[in-house]
Amino acid sequence: SYELTQPPSVSVSPGQTASFTCSGDKLGDKYTCWYQQKPGQSPVLVIYQNNKRPSGIPERFSGSSSGNTATLTISGTQAMDEADYYCQAWDSSTYVVFGGGTKLTVL
């Protein structure tokens, strides 16, 4: 079965850049999306198709993908960005797969 791996945590200071990685076999050949989930809330899509932002998502959120790794980047991180971030891809054998999630702490 297909698996996506994310580091459990990332910490940044306000105004700095936060980067989240998501690793999977030949992930760059698939499309990755990213969700933000704040405590007690439902997930929210922040990036789809590797690097596209849904309407309403701030420009500081960006994405990229190459090789075995997809990356979500938050430029100028704000306190309101503190949340869990999940990557997700579609695979023909496993169908939908999520990464384990990364908790962002804004110090």
Partner 1 sequence: EVQLLESGGGLVQPGGSLRLSCAASGFTFSSYAMSWVRQAPGKGLEWVSSISGSGDSTYYADSVKGRFTVSRDNSKNTLYLQMNSLRAEDTAAYYCAKVFQGIVYYFDYWGQGTLVTVSS
Point out which residues bind partner 1 (CB under 8 A).
1, 31, 33, 35, 37, 42-45, 48-49, 54, 84, 86, 88, 90, 95-101
Question: Closer CB to partner 1, residue 9 or residue 17?
Answer: 9
- Distance CA(56)–CA(31), nearest Å, equals 21
Q: Least distance from C-beta 1 to partner 1, angstroms?
A: 7
Task: Report the candidate in 1, 98, 106 with the shortest Cα–Cα distance to residue 43.
Answer: 98
Dihedral of alpha carbons 40, 58, 105, 18, sign: positive
Q: Least distance from C-beta 56 to partner 1, angstroms?
A: 11
CA distances from 58 to 46, 47, 76, 78 (A): 9, 10, 11, 11
List the Cα angle 79/105/27 in 5-degree steps. 110
Q: Least distance from C-beta 27 to partner 1, angstroms?
A: 14
Question: Closer CB to partner 1, residue 17 or residue 66?
Answer: 66
Question: Closer CB to partner 1, residue 28 or residue 100?
Answer: 100
Question: Closer CB to partner 1, residue 24 or residue 101?
Answer: 101
